[in-house]
Structures are given as C-alpha cells and as structure tokens.
Structure 1
Amino acid sequence: MDFVKEIYPLTDFVTKEEIKETDTVTYYYEGICPKTGDNLRLPRTILAEKVALSLCRQLKKTSFQTVKGKMLGVLIVKDSFGKLAVIKAFSGLLNGKKQVDGWVSQISGDSMIALAENLTLKQLDDIKQEILTLESLPLRHDYQQISPEYQRQYKNLKVIHRQRKEIRDKNRFFYKNISKTPELVFGIVSLFCLSLSQRRKDAKFFYYLLLEFDLSFQLYRLQQDSRRDDWERRILKRQWEEKLLPLEIEINQTNEKIQQLKQQRKKLSQQLQAQMQTAYTLTNFSGDSLSIGSLLGKAFIPTGTGDCCTPKLLHYASTNHLQPVAMAEFWWGESSPNGERVEGHFYPACVDRCQPLMGFLLSGLPTFRAVNREESIPVIYEDEWVLVVDKPSGLLSVSGRGSHNFESVESRFRQITTAKSNFQFTTVHRLDQDTSGILILAKTQDTYINLSQQFAQRQVKKIYEAILNGVVSTPEGIINLPLWSNPLTRPRQEVNYLHGKSSITHFQMMKLENGETRLQLKPVTGRTHQLRVHCLQGLGFPIKGDRLYGNSQDNNIRLHLHAREITFIHPHTQQSLHLKTITPF
C-alpha cells in the first residue's frame, strides 16, 4: 500500500465482488442544514466498514503505531470521472504530528499563529508525557498486588464469623426459652427417674437448680463472643489499612497532580483552540466557506473542534471535487481506560465536536435514500408518553456510551420518528449491549423525569432470566456482594469489601439441563454488570456466552441474559403496568 498519496483506489481495500454486494446501510451521520433546515444524511455502509477493517489489517502489517488509541476514519468517494476511491484521516495529532503522508491534510489555518501553535503543542506534549509517567508509577502496581490479599482474608474471616454466629443464635435461642418451659424440663428429667415420686421430686429439684444457674451469664458470654468477632474484623481491617493507606495517600496525591496537569492542559488547549478556530475555515459541498468560530457562534467551543476525522474528510472531499458515498469512523489501537473505545469498533460522530458541524459540512450533497433495516425492534407497549421495546442482544441502549458497534435503540427510534412526530425518545434506563429484553423509552421530558425517579427509588421491579455454565447447588437464595468499578480494570466490575457498594439479587432455579442452570433473577439494586458478577462470584458460574466475565470465545454465542418482565407505575395514568416478553433462548 502506497502511503505517500492521499486518494486510494477502492480496490486497494476490497474486491470488486464486495463492492457490488455490500452497500447495506448500518448507520447514518446526520445534521440539519443551516440554510434549508433539511435533515442531511451520509450513510455508513457495510462496504465502508469492510474498507475500515481492511485498513486495520494493513496497518498491523506495517510499523504504524500510536502512543495511545486513536479514532480513524475512511470516506468512500467518487472522483470527477465517477470512479470510486478512498480517503482516510486521523483525529487530532498522530504521535505529535498533524501532517502524515498518506492521510488527508489538516484543515488549513492562518500561518500567523503557526509559531504559537507549535510552542503550545510542545507544552501539551510535555504535560502528556508527565501524566503518562504519573499514571504508570510502581506504587499503583503495588497497591493492586496487596489489595486482593486483603479482600481474600476479609472474605474468609467473614465466612468463619458467619458460622460462629449461626451457633450462637442456636445457643441464644436455647438459653432464652428453656427457663420458660418447666414442663419440658420435668418431662426430660422424669424419663431418667426410677419411681413416679422420685421423678417428680428430682424434676422439681433440677428445675429450681436450673433457675439458680446464671443464664444471664451464658447470654453475656455469647454477646462477648459476638463482640470478639467484630473486633477481629476491625483489627484485620486496621492492619491492612496500615499497609494500604500510605499507598492510597500517595496514589491520591499523584491523582491530584494528574488532575492539575489535565486542567493546565485543558487551559492551554482552549487558548490554542480559540486562536485556531478563528483561523480554521471549513468548506462544504455548496461551495460555502466559514471559520469554525463564526459557524458555531458560541462563546465556548470544545477543544479539538474541527480536528476530528469527519470534518477533515468532508472538508478535503469538498475542496478536491470528490463526492462522498459512505463513511466509517472506528477506533484503532489500545482501548480507552474506561472501555468506551475498543479497537475495530465503529462509532458515530462525536456529539460535542463533530455533530454541530455536520449540517454545514453535508450541505450541497444529494439526499441519501434510507435502506430498510433487516432487523426491527419489537414494540411491547406504546402510548403518547411511553414506549417499551424488546431490545435484541448486540444492540446498544444509547449511543455515545460503551463500545459501539452500530446504532442504538434510542438513535434508531429517533431516526424513524423524526419526520413523523415531535417525540424526542429518551432511554430511561440501560441494558448491557449483549443483554436482550425490556427497555423503556420516554417520549416527553416529564415522563423521563418521573420514570427516572422510580428507578432511582427502586420502585421498578425487574425479572431477568439467564442460563449459567454449570450446575448451581442452591435452589434459591440472595446474593449480597459489594461491587466496585476499579478504574484500572474498567469496564469490568469486581467484588471489593473495602470500596464496593452494596448490590443485592434474589435468585431462583428454574431448570437443570445438560450441565447448565436456568435461573430467574430479581435485582434489588442496579449496579453495573450486577447480574453477571453475581452469577460468577456469588453462584460460581458465569452466564453462558459472557465474553467479559466468562471464558466464552465464540462470538456466535450470545450472552444468555434476558430482561423478561418489568413492573412500574405509569407516570400519567398512575396505573401499575406489568409487561412481559418471551425469553429468546
């Protein structure tokens, strides 16, 4: 592949057969034309995605690397002769460079600010390196090595104390009730006496002797045993805090330093962007050219506006007489720390920086006809305020959070209904991308607020169904484990008795078959990945098809977790709604 040129033949990425067969639309990049008010759209197609994935494979064969993950984009275009070609772009800087051979050029600006830009970029790079150094200090690794051992010891001690408590509870019950049942004492003693008179005499004597025995002392001893267990836990916690606390203090200090550096970096970036945004000029397909500052007309414009893949690609196409056909933005390199960006996954235009420019950038393009999607989302219930759907596995609830493959439930319904109604669908709660089942969307703001409050106050009752990779020995019970989102291992959640928040799930066995257990799950709390972690850590087996917490490597096996039922109060009718779906596995 020749990295010197900027426009590539489409056949550098896909075969001629694929060009003919892969034009299905999977997502639309959209914007409102500032002149006409029309909703303009540019599709992402399977062909564009294949081009992007082919680029990924080509990059892996070269020395192309990034310090951290990077958003990349490809745009399929037609040249003046009607031939299909590809241009590609990266967001921001690529390893400190804004111009790289083979990639579309940076949007041109005023040369007068070039010197100030270079100096600021050097400062920003120095700050970035200092942040990376602080984030990789050995003490963070030390903390991660020590903390799990404390968790293990604390958990084992709690098991021992729970067993002791069960014995104490039985003894306490015996001591409190034996003095209230003299007839029982008489009967027991009588069985061992020879004559009736002797039985009565000895039973009476034994009863009064028992009354003289200090039962209160026995109860006091049990109380002291309970306090001893509590004290043991406190001592263990204090001992480990003496080891962990110095590390936590130092980590917190470095985190504060990191935050200060990030604030400093943000301030420098904003100053630079304020200068650059007055100089950066975008051109659309109508031939209009405007600076980013005048185009947006805002007092504050987010840092990086105009530096993302989408503006670079569309500006380059418009100024080089290329007609866009389809576009795809995707993540390349190391996944982001919070798990929101994953290599090879596709993403929509960023909400803060790209979306406000989309209407202007797409102005002058022909209207793209929508392609009917093969997969529809079943509607369970709908009225003028509420929409309840059966979300399929593999589809996000909301765009812009988590690992995006294609569009979300929310964005799909917004696209379908924009031209038909004034509804602004808003998802009230979330289901993991791989989880299927009932999802509620609000059509009005007051409906959204009311339903959100019901979820926050735990008034909404949910029932899930799952299949576990193993035989659960307990037919029913309650799982209560503290869950913590460790910033170093996100998006995974972990059980942590020091930092975790309480999470409770009721479970009931439904069926055992072929070495697997079908369960009914009723979450009381709504922690991230709660059911998935509870099944693994609380019951000992992962949910079937769980690639994050289990050992499933087969992408063809879905996560066997389904939100089957939900009960809530309708925000406007005040009636209780109980809705069900059929479990698809």
Structure 2
Amino acid sequence: MISHKFQPFKTNISSIPLPEKFTFPFYYEPHKLSVIASTELQNYLENQSDFEHNFGSNPTQKGLVIGKMFGVLVCQNEFGEIGQLWAFSGKLADSNHHEKFVPTVYDMLDAKGFYKKGEDVLNQITSEIESLKKSEEFKNAFQNLENTKIEAFNDIQRQKENIKVQKKLRDTIRKSEIFNEEELKNASQQEGILLKKMTQFWNYKIKAAQKEFELINSKIETLKSDRKQKSADLQQKLFAEYAFLNQYRTLKSIGEIFEGNPPAGAGECAAPKLLHYAFANKLKPIAMAEFWWGKSPNSEIRKHKQFYPACKSKCEPILMQHMLDGLKMEVNPFENNPAKGKNISIVYDDDYLVLINKPAEFLSVPGKQIKDSAYQRVKDMFPNATGPLIVHRLDMSTSGIMILAKDEEVYKELQRQFIKRTIKKRYVALLDGIIEENEGFIDFPLRVDLDDRPRQLVCYEHGKTAQTRWQKIEVKDNKTKVFFYPITGRTHQLRVHASHELGLKTPIVGDDLYGKKANRLHLHAEQLTFVHPISKKEMTFTVEAEF
C-alpha cells in the first residue's frame, strides 16, 4: 500500500544520484535531493490555502507570530520509487494533522484521546480547588486564624512590656528606705503567672482556629495530592504512547529512551515524526533536512529558509539511541579531530607565559572525545610548565591570539586582569552583508540554550551581561569587515551579537550555528594588550587574519 503522505517530486530528479549514506542529522550539508524537496515544500507554504498560521511574513496578518521548523525526508518505497515526506515541529495552526504532512506519533489534541480526557479531569480538580479557595467559608476560616495569631501576639507582647515596666518600678522602690520585699516578689510572681495563663489561653484559641481552617484546607490539600498523582500517571501513560519505530520495526517509547524523564516537547520535532512515519509505512530513508520558516523567536537566531541540524537535547537520544539504529549513516564529524594536520605558531614566549596563534577549527581545551587542543599542544611543548596554562579560551572555530601561563602565580595575575577587564582584545570579522552604520555598542544578555547546546539564547531573566563595541573597516563584495572589541567574554558573544536582530542582524561569514557554513568561520582574535605579570610592562601583540 502506498502512503498518501508519500509525495513524488515535481522536479525531474532522474539524473541525480542517490546518496550512499543517510544524513547525519546533527551536522550536515543537505543533499541535492533534500534541497529540492525543501524548495518544493517552501513553494507550497508560500502559495497554500489549506491552513492559516501567522509565520510573521505578513505584517497585516493577525494572531500570535510563530515561526516554525519544517523537515523533509527523501525516501524510497517498496517499488523503488523516490519521493518525499513533509513534517513540522510542534503544532501548526493549532493542529497536529494536516493533509500534506506526516502526523504526530500521538495526538495530544484529540478530544477523544486519553490525554485530553485526563486533562479534563485535572482541570476539573483544579476548578474544585479554586472554588474552595474562593469560598466564604475558607476565607473566613483563614482570616479568623490570621486575626487570632495577631491578637495573641499583640496581647502577649503588651503583657511582656508591662512586666518590664513593673520590674523597673520595683527596682526604683528598692532604692528607697521603706519597702516590703515580700510584696514586691509576690507582685512579680503574679505577673509571670498571668503571662503564662495568657499564653495558654491564646494557644488554645489559635489551635481552635487552626482546626477550623484545617477542616477546609485538608480538602484542598487532598485534591492537590490527587491532582499531582493523576498528572504523574497521565504523563507516564503519555510517555508510553510516544513510542517510535526504527528500521527493524522495533518500538521504543520516550519514557524508555529518557529513562522516565523526557524534556518537554520530546518527540514533537520534525525528524522523529518523519522517520517514524517512514518506518511504519515501509519507506526507506534516503536523506533528510530541516529548515526554519518565518520570523525568528526573540530569544533565538533563526533565519528564514535556512537549514538547521536536529536539536541535541530532545532529538539526539531518540534518533541516535533508537531510530537510526543500523542505518548506514554519514560520519559523525564531532568524532573527527578538527586539529589534525594543523599547527599552532608561537607569537611570544618567555619564562612566564606564551602567546600562540590558534588556527580555526582547533579546540582550546580537550573535549569529551578529542584530546588534541591548544592546551595539549602547549603542554607538550613546555612539559615543565606548572600552571593551569589556559587563561582564556577561543571558540573552536575562531582563530587568533591566546595567552597561556607557565605557572600558577602568573596564571592568577593574568586571570585577575581578565576579571578586572583591563586586558584589551580586538577581533576582526567578515560579516555576510552590508552594515550601514560606522560603529556602535551592543548590549544584551546571553545564556546557553539548554535544549540545544552550545547554541546561545538572548535571556533577560537568566542571561549574563554581554557587551561589545564594534567599528566598521570596509565594505567589499557585499560583505562588511569589522573590528569587535568585546567588553565581556561570553560563549559565542561576538557570533550572536553579529547575527541577532538586536545586534548587527548580519551573521559572520561561515558561522554554521547562527549563519551559513563556509570554508571557515571568518572571526579572528587579532590583537591582545595586557600588563606582563612580572615586568609590569604593557605589551601589545597583533596577528593579522588569514581571511
């Protein structure tokens, strides 16, 4: 049976050879067939009238603007025919089902499904809780308890203050020639007894008010506990329903894959939807690609029509631990040493520190899988160095000057200069477009995207301050060369400040995270000025970029 979601290419693809291996979904150059399939999907999106969704491309369209990630899967059916599947991440136009797109693995929006019915039960419990909280009985009991506590506190405090006043008065009497010590002691004891009785009285009153309040509040707490348990049960049932096939038609749920704690939205991305549908309908995956359509979210950098890899936190476990099992796939580039065949050059060297020129695509410090790095190379060059060596880092893709310390005291002093921001840094970058302004200052906070490391997000709630001064050097061939003067040193700061709408709106040439891939990232740490920790002389070093 041929699936109705399996669409033939409108473009003549007969002369295009099939790829020998399936796309590695977390870092790829889209195959020509994937590009054609994406173009055909984009043509459909530009001209369709099947649904209404505000992608942000039409300023007059009403409704919340939500850009969307779409995916295409080139596949082959049982008859050897090549076609394509389409999918979107999350919901589209408030629905999980559209004629030309593969469905979600489990439709949480289905009114007849267990999830919606379970949600209705939870909503009913929440409504009961809110109704009890708003009832006059609850409000009066709560207010009576609070008022009783306040009255008790004030009454007991007054008695304590009275005891202090009476004690001072007795002390004054004792200084006179005539006084009865027995009467003074008896008065003191009576005041203490009264305080004790008042405390007992108010404790009784508070307990009575507390009991009255608990009669109603216990109903609320029981409902909350019931809601929590029902919610947990519903989630576990949902995790079990979200079960994905692989090429062996083996099912595995996201509950199993994530060991009972999947992140929100796991399984709702385009890639797992596409692969699950293909395996369920005996379609052989050939190549895949995902692209962004519409306006970028305010916190992220997403470019209209641009290709992006699958996300790490939600998709990688599903795909790599199960769905792609046994598929002949392109090599994982993250397992290859990018520094192989490259050398670092010494810019300056003395008994205390060393400055190097780090090539692009060269780790500053050892990674989880690859140990070759600037740290390891310098450690091998200077085996007697005792310091932590690495004073600051450059992104793997960024080239340029790095300073390393040969002992701990020098390291601490250089670190102090970085922390105090007395070290001056200048980067040179080539931007993929024309910048009209001549200079400026960029200031917005950044934090890591927990769902897609190491990508950074703009976040005013949890982000750290990120500030950059910049200056235009020249415009040539529709590209702009600029100097960046970073004041802070956040991960990917210059890359995000260049590409984001709040910054220069123009990505750095070759930025495969926030722009488009090229032969390299055209960002270079060109100049560094610091005070030598021992000689106390200011030193400036410059290494021009090779791009």
TM-score band (shorter)?
Answer: 0.3 to 0.5
Considering fraction of residues, name the structure with more helix: 1
Give the structure with higher Rg (CA): 2
TM-score (norm 2): 0.48
TM-score (norm 1): 0.45
